[in-house]
Structure 1
């Protein structure tokens, strides 16, 4: 189980490398760092709105041996507002792939799932030894 953000999207800036994004191939990639750029990670609610056309970005921040700071802005919709796949993204033959859900319920369900799967999530969030001390080689 890999974490995705519960909101529509997340904005992130970081002082040093450290964040990793999961590619469709299943490989983790270290996010290059530029203090003047903002990383945009797509969230669960955008995946629902687009009926899965846009996938939420799996990510992790494993421990490093170097100091790192980040600023994160979670961009969500009003908690009680319910979203569902929008018509332009729904294939008439398949129908909607997601049930309507509110931001509040999505966060609640996501936290419950994370709690239930905490051991698996901790195991997956561990960084490979090759990443631990090699910030400059990545």
Structure 2
């Protein structure tokens, strides 16, 4: 009889081990990304007091009246900054929109920076004191943790440990504050987040302890991803999948609706979509394309690929 695969087979590792035993850490993380596209990381270095403050401010924002939140809708930006209302984002190929609303924080760039034409200024809600300082601090902490994980991925791929440092410097990374409202009536074909793959390089997700996150295995089964409080869920995005010619998996995942006894509970989470810089050209790394074969995908810039995918999910 075949054993049932559970989320326990997704690697769960401590980021402290990246310094203690770099090779073992990279191998465990990398093999989890090859098989599942996901891993869980503890001891990630993002201060718990900062996480707690950010979570409370996120709840305060989403509790504001709709007419207040909609002041921060920015037409024509694909939701890159500020607020995106409930019922807008739709998984690629799906007809039913997701049951969520969200807020985006991007990278702060100085005047005259070469990427200002493709990376908009942030907007900040006036109604919540300290919101800007809190989320800029969290953005920076996510950035730092992400680079440590990318160094481990570089070791696993047998490229220079600092390979990714320049590729993500001034990257178009986005932090998303997510609110999946409580469900008080049938939702039809809609679920909290339809099956999708992430667009970016890697995603770092906080606040996924409330059940619902599932990934799709290679043989087509859905299994839960169940981190403990304060742990980071990490998954590979399409950009890194393209860069590794499919070796690291950008896995389909979704957020299913709650069980009846949890339907009255809203779900909150904070993913950080770590991106390459806009002018980085994504093409298969040397050694990832078998001799005599062509790469699975043609070269494309990070910015061009992002725009293509945003149109597919109806944000542009």
Q: TM-score, normalised by structure 1?
A: 0.75
The higher radius of gyration belongs to 2
Matched, 1:75 2:264: no
* Corresponding residue of 1:55: 249
In structure 2, how many angstroms separate the alpha carbons of the residues matched to 1:102 and 1:60? 27
1:44 CA displacement: 0.5
1:63 CA displacement: 2.8
Matched, 1:89 2:282: no
Q: Is the 8 A contact 2:202 2:274 kept in 1?
A: yes
Name which of 221, 224, 233 aligns with 1:27.
221
Q: Is the 8 A contact 1:6 1:103 kept in 2?
A: no
Give unpaired runs (5+ residues) of structure 1.
116-138
1:39 CA displacement: 0.8
Partner deviation per Cα, 1:48-77 (whole Å, 9 max, x = no partner): 111111120211112321332211111111
Structure 1 runs (4+) deviating above 6 angstroms are none
Give unpaired runs (5+ residues) of structure 2.
1-92, 94-194
Q: Is the 8 A contact 1:17 1:33 kept in 2?
A: no
Partner-residue secondary structure (3-state), 2:196 = coil
Q: Is the 8 A contact 1:8 1:42 kept in 2?
A: yes
Name which of 183, 198, 205 aligns with 1:12.
205
Q: Is the 8 A contact 1:15 1:68 kept in 2?
A: no
Structure of higher RCO (CA pairs closer than 8 Å, 6+ residues apart): 1
